């Protein structure tokens, strides 16, 4: 079941400005909010380094959305692909939920967007009017993901769930996998944003 969230006050990830998100009905001039990405430290303990790097990746995805309208966020700018910036945000919302909350913390949750009947709903069930709520849902999920692993150790072993092969992994693997996942999708986001308005950046 898709969870359409409106008017969420989202506590920001590290380096992302706090913002109040409203729907286009109350703010027709809405564009995706700005972010302030904080460079990860180059010398840091392992857990600090992983937390900082994944927050950099999260902020990078948001930065590719900054200043765009809902219509721009749902535009498939690199034909024939159906990838969109809002689709990537929705996808990473469910991926954060899947790995940090369901796997690492063992929470009994459903995906926000994907269903057994519609496995690509995160990328396909798009509506420009829902963009503010879904950006807010992503920010909220990041806070919940951080809280879910706050007391977990990197060496903690967790079981596999759902459609993944039956194998265990540790929390360190989840962090590394998520950094890899963001790296791939942020490359997609770079191309999408450049095709929309020519904006580029690192």
Only one residue has tokens 């069930």, namely 125
pLDDT at 194 over 60: yes
* Average pLDDT over the chain, rounded to an integer: 87
Query: Angle at CA 167, nearest 5°, toward 121 and 177?
Result: 55
Domain 9-28+46-197 annotated CATH 1.20.120.450: yes
Q: Return the pLDDT at 21.
A: 38
The helix/strand/coil state of 19 is strand
For the chain, what are the domain ranges?
A: 9-28+46-197
Cα dihedral 186, 192, 196, 197, rounded to 10, equals: 40
The helix/strand/coil state of 9 is strand
Measure the CA–CA gap between 30 and 16, rounded to whole angstroms: 18
Q: Provide the whole-model pTM.
A: 0.86
pLDDT in tens, 107-157: 999 999 999 899 999 999 999 999 999 999 999 999 999 999 999 999 999
Of the candidates 39, 178, 189, the one whose C-alpha atom is nearest the C-alpha of residue 95 is: 178
Biggest alpha carbon–alpha carbon distance for the chain: 48
Measure the CA–CA gap between 53 and 31, rounded to whole angstroms: 26
Q: Return the pLDDT at 169.
A: 93
Measure the CA–CA gap between 85 and 186, rounded to whole angstroms: 10
Measure the CA–CA gap between 5 and 134, rounded to whole angstroms: 7
- The two beta strands, 19-20 and 9-10, are antiparallel
133, 20 Cβ separation under 8 angstroms = no
Q: Tell me the two tokens of residue 65.
A: 């959305």
pLDDT at 4 over 50: no
Residues whose CB is less than 8 angstroms from the CB of residue 165 and which lie 6 or more positions away in sequence, other chains included: none
pLDDT in tens, 16-40: 333 333 444 547 789 999 998 999 9
Only one residue has tokens 């690199």, namely 78
Q: Return the pLDDT at 149.
A: 97
């Amino acid at each position: 079941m898709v969870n359409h969230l409106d008017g969420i006050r989202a506590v920001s990830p590290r380096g992302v400005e706090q913002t109040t998100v409203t729907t286009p009905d109350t703010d027709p001039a809405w564009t995706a909010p700005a972010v302030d990405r904080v460079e990860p430290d180059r010398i840091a303990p392992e857990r600090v380094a992983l937390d900082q790097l994944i927050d950099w990746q999260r902020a990078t995805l948001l930065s590719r959305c900054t200043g765009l309208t809902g219509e721009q966020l749902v535009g498939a700018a690199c034909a024939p692909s159906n990838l969109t910036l809002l689709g990537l945000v929705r996808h990473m919302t469910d991926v954060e939920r899947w790995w940090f909350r369901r796997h690492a913390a063992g929470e009994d949750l459903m995906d926000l967007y994907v269903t057994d009947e519609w496995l690509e709903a995160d990328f396909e069930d798009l509506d420009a009017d829902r963009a503010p709520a879904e950006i807010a849902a992503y920010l909220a999920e990041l806070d919940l993901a951080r809280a879910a692993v706050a007391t977990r150790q990197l060496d903690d072993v967790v079981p596999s769930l759902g459609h993944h092969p039956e194998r265990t992994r540790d929390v360190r693997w989840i962090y590394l996998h998520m950094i890899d996942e963001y790296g791939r999708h942020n490359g997609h986001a770079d191309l999408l944003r450049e095709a929309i308005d020519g904006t580029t950046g690192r």
